[in-house]
């Protein structure tokens, strides 16, 4: 498969790296990008010379989230990288199953997060097994302010209820340093040290043979599954779908169609964040 929206390389022995590659637009996540990413992850799972994959973003940030302008939701069900039953809630259910596809890979996946990691990009990062961030990264889910809760409810499971609740009730962002404190991430590093730190950790992970590592990964996930994470995330898709029919969310969808950038700026103006930060 030829890749146009990602770059795949081998920066260290036994380490594959996937770079989301649309830096001019802050690496928005499209179905095409997701298809290429899943192809590279699945290929690595079958390749004995690879033991771990790193996912990062090109340019100034990890990713600004799903490319809503490209219509990744709803109407493009046929373009999704794998089949998910159609109808109401398709997009959220599709993303939850995508997160679990990453969980169910035999080999570990590491997210390397710098700059913006917004909305759907947080769902991608949280689906990874390890997350390392730049201490000045901006991480958040502002859509909750006049839209819907996240498609994939990883936040309360991985961050804990109090920290997740604060983010969900305000849409406020957290820094990379705060992300490490709240368990969104494993550790935070100065931005200029992040890449080396991630690759060094990837090398350490890759020292463990894959036939053993797959059980190490599954053993941790098994405990989360016993506590109900799969059923919880799937239940969350129903609430996400219901929220799309609120008066506020319907109005926001109409505003986005009329003036995408203006709608987002208006949403965040009262909070003084996101759009303001992007101009600083």
Over the stretch 63-90, which tens digit does the pLDDT of each residue have?
999 997 765 554 456 689 999 999 999 9
Q: Encoding tokens for residue 221?
A: 């996930």
Ranges of beta strands (E only) in 89-216 are: 109-113, 116-118, 130-134, 138-140, 174-175, 187-189
Cα radius of gyration (the chain)? 18
The confidence score (pLDDT) of residue 279 equals 47
Over the stretch 151-191, which tens digit does the pLDDT of each residue have?
999 999 999 999 999 999 999 999 999 999 999 999 999 99
The confidence score (pLDDT) of residue 1 equals 85
Q: Which of 48, 49, 62, 41 is nearest to 14 (CA)?
A: 49
Q: Provide the 8-state DSSP code for 184.
A: S
Residue for token pair 């990890």: 62
Average pLDDT score, the chain: 95
217, 225 Cβ separation under 8 angstroms: no
54, 12 Cβ separation under 8 angstroms: no
Residues of the chain with pLDDT under 70: 70-78, 275-280
Determine the Cα–Cα distance for residues 57 and 115; give it in Å rounded to an integer.
9
Q: Which domains does the chain have, with CATH numbers?
A: 6-193+209-279 (3.90.226.10)
Determine the Cα–Cα distance for residues 106 and 114; give it in Å rounded to an integer.
26
192 phi/psi in degrees, rounded to 5: -75, -5
pTM of the model: 0.94
């Amino acid at each position: 498969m030829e890749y146009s929206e990602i770059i795949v390389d081998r920066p260290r022995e036994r380490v594959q790296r996937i770079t989301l590659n649309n830096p001019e637009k802050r690496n928005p996540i499209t179905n095409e990008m997701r298809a290429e990413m899943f192809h590279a992850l699945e290929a690595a799972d079958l390749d004995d010379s690879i033991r771990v994959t790193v996912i990062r973003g090109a340019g100034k940030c990890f990713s600004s989230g799903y490319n809503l302008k490209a219509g990744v939701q709803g109407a493009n069900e046929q373009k999704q990288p794998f089949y998910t039953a159609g109808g109401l809630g398709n997009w959220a259910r599709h993303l939850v199953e995508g997160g679990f596809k990453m969980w169910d890979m035999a080999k570990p996946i590491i997210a390397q997060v710098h700059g913006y990691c917004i909305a759907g990009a947080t769902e991608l990062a949280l689906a990874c097994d390890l997350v390392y961030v730049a201490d000045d990264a901006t991480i958040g889910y502002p859509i909750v302010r006049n839209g819907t809760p996240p498609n994939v409810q990883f936040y309360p499971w991985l961050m804990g209820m109090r920290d997740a609740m604060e983010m969900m009730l305000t849409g406020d962002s957290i820094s990379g340093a705060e992300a490490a404190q709240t368990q969104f991430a494993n550790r935070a590093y100065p931005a200029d040290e992040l890449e080396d730190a991630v690759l060094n950790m990837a090398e350490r992970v890759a020292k463990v043979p894959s036939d053993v590592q797959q059980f190490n990964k599954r053993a941790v996930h098994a405990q989360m599954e016993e506590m109900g994470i799969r059923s919880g995330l799937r239940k969350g898709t129903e609430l996400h779908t219901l929220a799309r029919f609120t008066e506020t969310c319907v109005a926001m969808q109409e505003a986005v169609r009329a003036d995408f950038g203006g709608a987002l700026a208006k949403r965040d103006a009262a909070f003084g964040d996101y759009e303001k930060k992007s101009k600083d």
